[in-house]
Structure 1
Amino acid sequence: MASLSPTAPAPASARVLVASNRGPVSYEVRDDGTLSARRGGGGLVSGLSAIGPDADALWVCSALSDGDREAVRRGAGEDGVRMLAVPADVHADAYNGIANSVLWFVHHMLYQTPLEPSFDAEFRRQWARYEEYNAAFARALAEEAADGAAVLVQDYHLCLVPGMLRELRPDLRIGHFSHTPWAPVDYFRMLPDDISAQILRGMLGADRLGFLTRRWADAFERCAAELAGGLGDTRVGVHGLGADADFLRKRSHAPDVTDRMAALAAEIGEGRKAIVRVDRTELSKNIVRGLHAYAALLESRPEWRERVVHVAFAYPSRQDLAVYRDYTAEVQRVADSVNSRYGTPGWTPVVLHVKDDFARSLAAYRLADVALVNPIRDGMNLVAKEVPVVSDEGCALVLSREAGAYEELGEDAITVNPYDVTATAHALHEALTMPSDERAERTKRLAAAATALPPAQWFLEQLRALREAGPRDA
C-alpha cells in the first residue's frame, strides 16, 4: 500500500473541498505555445458555484492531458482548482487498469465469469498504482484543508481516499459519493479478499457515504456488514441527482439546437415517429440489445415499417480499451444490419450518429416520441431525466428497471427487463401507440420527478448532511 506520513492540520484556507478524477477545467497548448482553458459543467460545478465565492472552496483533480500537465508545470492553474500532475503511466494504470477495467466491471456486473476476471501479477502491479493515485489525492487534500473542513470525494476512482485522508487529518469531515451502482455482496466478493477489505476500509474512513438510490446504498451496507463487520461510525445517505431544468430548457432553445432539429427532422422524414436514444458506447448501456429490440418491432409489427425511425446517438467512450472498441464496432454493425434488412429507398430505419454533439442530443430530445433507456445496470441515467424536461410534445419513456432512475421514474415509464429483447419490442410498440394526452400527462409527472433534486441542491444537501453528521468515536 502507498505510504502516507502523518500531516498536522496546516494553516490552509480551504473550507470546502471536492476531489474527483476529472476537474472543472481542462487545458490545451495552442500552436503558439500559449495555454487555452475550457471550463466544464455538471452537478459539482453548479454545487460549488451555489455555495458562493466566500466559501473558500477548492477542487482537487487530476491533470489528464498533456495540456493539463503543462499547465501544472507552468503554475498556470485557475483559482479554486488544484491539479495533480500524477505521472501519465500511473494514471493510466489506476484509471484504465483498475477503475474502469475492474471496479466498473464489478459494480456493473459486466464480467463474463467463465473467462474473467483473473487477478494475477499484472492486476497487483496496477493495484499498487491505484493506491499511489489515491494517496496523491489524500496528501493534497490534507495539505489544502483548513482545520475541520468538509471534503467531498467523488466516485470509484478514489474509494481509498477517505481512509487514507482520515489517517492524515482526523479533524476533517469526510464524505464520499458513488455515482455508480454498488455491487451485491456475492459479486463484490469476487475481488481478492484483501482488495475488497481494503476498498471497504477506504470507504468507511468517511463520516458519510452518499449513493444515488436506496438500492445501491443497501448493497453497500450488506457488503460492509458481511465483509467488514458493519458500518462503524460511517453514516449512509441517498441523494438522487436530478436534471437541471433551467439550464436544459434554455439551452435546448438555442439557435444551434433549432438548426439541428431541422436537420434531424429531415433525416426522420415527414409524418414519421422517432424512437430516440442518447448514450455513450459504454458496455452497460445495452445499445446492441436496444437495436435488436427495434428490429424485433419491425419484424413482429410490420405496420411500423416506413412509419418510424430509430434515432440512435452512440458516442464513443473509452476507446483506449479494446473491449470498448469492439462494442462500438458491434453497435455500428447491428445498425447497418437493420438498415440493410428493412430499409427502403425512401426510409432509413436507424439513423446512427457517433460524433458527440450536445446540441444535436437536445434536438433529438425535443423531437422524440419515444425515448429508449435500457441499460443493463446504471447508477442513475440522466438521459431518462433530461428527455421529459426538454420534450416539446411529450415523450413516452421506455425505461430499464436496472437504471437507478427507475426508483423515481418507474411509475410513469414503461418498464422493461433490459435482457428481454422481445418484451422491449412490445414496450416500444406500447410507447408508440400511447394516446397523446396520456403521453403528455406522463411527461409532466416524469419532468417533475426528474427535477426534484437539481444539481446545485444535490450538492448542497450532501454538504449540509456531512456538516451535521455527529463526530466519530475516538
Structure 2
Amino acid sequence: MASTQAAQGARGAQVLVASNRGPVSYAVREDGSLHAKRGGGGLVSGLSAIGPDAGALWVCSALGDGDREAVRRGVGEAGVRMLAIPADVHSDAYNGIANSVLWFVHHMLYQTPLEPVFDAEFRRQWVSYETYNRAFAEALAQEAAPGAAVLVQDYHLCLVPGMLRELRPDLRIGHFSHTPWAPVEYFGLLPDDVAAEVLRGMLGADRLGFLTQRWADAFTTCAAEFAGGLGDTRIGVHGLGADADFLRRRAHEADVDERVAALREEIGAAPDGSARKAIVRVDRTELSKNIVRGLLAYRQLLDDHPEWRERVAHVAFAYPSRQDLAVYREYMAEVRRLSEEINSEYGTPGWTPVVLNLKDDFARSLAAYRLADVALVNPIRDGMNLVAKEVPVVSDEGCALVLSREAGAYWELREDAITVNPYDVMETARALHEALSMAPEERAERTKRLAAAATALPPAQWFLEQLSALRA
C-alpha cells in the first residue's frame, strides 16, 4: 500500500501511539518484492476501537532489513509512520540500554557482585538511547495536530515525553509502562544523572500508566527520591486483560484443533489408559520467566510424589527471545539441557516427562492452553503476564493456576490461584501436587472466577480507558 504519511502529516493526527515495534513488519521476498505481516495485541485492538475516522497514527521503528527497505522505497501502511533510525543507533539503544540495562533494573536481574558496570561503553550506548528517543519525539511533534493525544509505550521510550513536551507543549502526552517498576533501592543502581534523566523524561507526560498499583507506587517513590516528586504528572493503573472473544474464537479454528490432537498424542496416556494430566507453561525464554526453576520444581514433584510418574507431562513451550544477547542464548541452552536431563532420568519408553518446544507457534500455544490441567506461571518478576489470564479463558476442562506472587497478574488472580514464592522450588513442587490433586468441581469453579477476573479490562477497553483519562 502506498504511504499516506504526507497526507496524514498535512492535517495532523489527533491520536498518536509511539512504540518500538509497530503493527506491521516487512520481509523482502526472493523476487525483491516486500511482504507485509500484520501483528495483533492490545494497541492494535485499541486503535481499531476508536474507528478509522479518528485521525490516528502509529509511530514505530524499522526493526529489520525488510522494514528499512520499505521505508527506503516509501512503502507503508495507512496510519503508520516507520522511522528508519540507523541500525547501529537502534542496536545500542534497544539491546545495549533498553534490554540490557532498563529491563534488568526493573526486573531486578543483575548478579550484583559482577554487574552492572557503568563504564565508557555504557555512556556511548546511552547517547544512542537519547538519540533514538529524540527521533521519536521529533516525529511525533511533526505529525501531531494541535492538542492531540499521544500515548508513548514502554521502557524503550522513557525520554520521549519530556523531549516532546519541550517541542510541543500543547499536546496531551501519556506514557504506559508494560514492565514492573524497580523499587527505589534497585533503581538507584543507575548512575544518578541517568536515573534523573529517565524520571524527568517520564514526568514530561501529563499522565503515566502502570499495570498494577505496586508498580505505580514504586515509580512514585523513585520520583520523590531522585526527581523531587511527581509535579503535575498524574498516575493511573490499568490492568491489561485477556481478549476473551478473540482467544475463544481463535482457539477453536481448524489449525488449533489439529495441534490439540497432535499434542494429546505426544503427551500420551497413563498406564491405566486414562489421559495423562498436563502441566502447561508458555513463555518466551526470557530470564525473568523463571523457566529453569519451574523445571526443577517439576523434577522435585516427581521425586516427592512418584505416584505422578507416567501420569503427568510437563508441556513447556519456551520460545526464543533476544538471542542476539549471549546471556539469553546461555539461558535457552540451560532450559534445553535440564529438560533432557529430566527426560533421561525419569522417562520410560512410553512416557516423555517434559514435552519441550522451542519454536514459536501461536496455534500450538492455544492447543496447550486448551489441554492444560495445570498452568504454571512462576516469573521472578513480571509486569502482568497475560498467559496467566489467557489459559483459564481457553482451557477446555478448566485448569488450576500455579502463580508467582511476583507476577503483576497476582493482584487480580490471587484469590483463585495457588500462589508461590518463585525462588522456592520445594514450595512450587508442593503447589503443583496440590493443583494436580484438585477436585474437578473445585477446579472448574476456580477457572470460571479466574476467567472473569482475567477479562475484566480487555485490550480495546484498556486502551480507550487510558485515552479518555488523558483527554479529561
State the TM-score bracket (shorter-chain normalisation). Answer: over 0.9
Give SS of 1:320's match: coil
- What is the aligned counterpart of 2:302 among 298, 303, 308? 298
In 2: Cα distance, 1:114 partner to 1:186 partner: 16
- 2:176 counterpart of 1:177: yes
Please name the residue that 1:232 is paired with: 231
In 1: Cα distance, 2:22 partner to 2:10 partner: 24
Matches within 5 A, 1:59-458: 59-270=58-269, 271-458=275-462
Give SS of 1:457's match: helix
In 1: Cα distance, 2:120 partner to 2:133 partner: 20
In 2: Cα distance, 1:356 partner to 1:398 partner: 23
* Structure 2 residue identity aligned to 1:293: A
- Per the normalisation by structure 1, the TM-score is 0.96
Bigger mean CA deviation after superposition, 422-431 or 261-270: 261-270
> How many pairs align?
459
Give SS of 1:351's match: strand
In 1: Cα distance, 2:461 partner to 2:26 partner: 28
Give SS of 2:327's match: helix
Tell me how far 1:11 sits from its aligned partner: 5.6
Give SS of 2:77's match: coil
- Contact 1:384–1:397 (CA<8 Å) still a contact in 2? yes
- Contact 1:94–1:129 (CA<8 Å) still a contact in 2? yes
* Structure 2 residue identity aligned to 1:278: V
Cα shift readout 1:277-306 (whole Å, capped 9, x = no counterpart): 000000000000000000000001111111
- 2:463 counterpart of 1:459: yes
In 2: Cα distance, 1:71 partner to 1:353 partner: 33
Structure 1 stretches of at least 4 aligned residues deviating more than 3 Å after TM superposition:
none
- Per the normalisation by structure 2, the TM-score is 0.97
In 1: Cα distance, 2:276 partner to 2:23 partner: 40
Give SS of 2:310's match: coil
* Structure 1 residue identity aligned to 2:191: P
**Which structure 2 segments of 5+ residues have no match?**
1-8, 270-274
In 2: Cα distance, 1:356 partner to 1:67 partner: 20
Give SS of 1:440's match: helix
Tell me how far 1:12 sits from its aligned partner: 3.9
In 2: Cα distance, 1:230 partner to 1:28 partner: 45
Cα shift readout 1:45-73 (whole Å, capped 9, x = no counterpart): 00000000110000000000111001101
- Contact 1:62–1:84 (CA<8 Å) still a contact in 2? yes
**Which structure 1 segments of 5+ residues have no match?**
1-9, 469-474
In 2: Cα distance, 1:29 partner to 1:362 partner: 29
Tell me how far 1:226 sits from its aligned partner: 1.2
Give SS of 1:157's match: helix
In 2: Cα distance, 1:218 partner to 1:242 partner: 21
TM-align CA RMSD:
0.7
In 2: Cα distance, 1:67 partner to 1:314 partner: 26
In 2: Cα distance, 1:234 partner to 1:102 partner: 25
In 2: Cα distance, 1:429 partner to 1:30 partner: 50
In 2: Cα distance, 1:233 partner to 1:125 partner: 32
In 1: Cα distance, 2:398 partner to 2:250 partner: 18
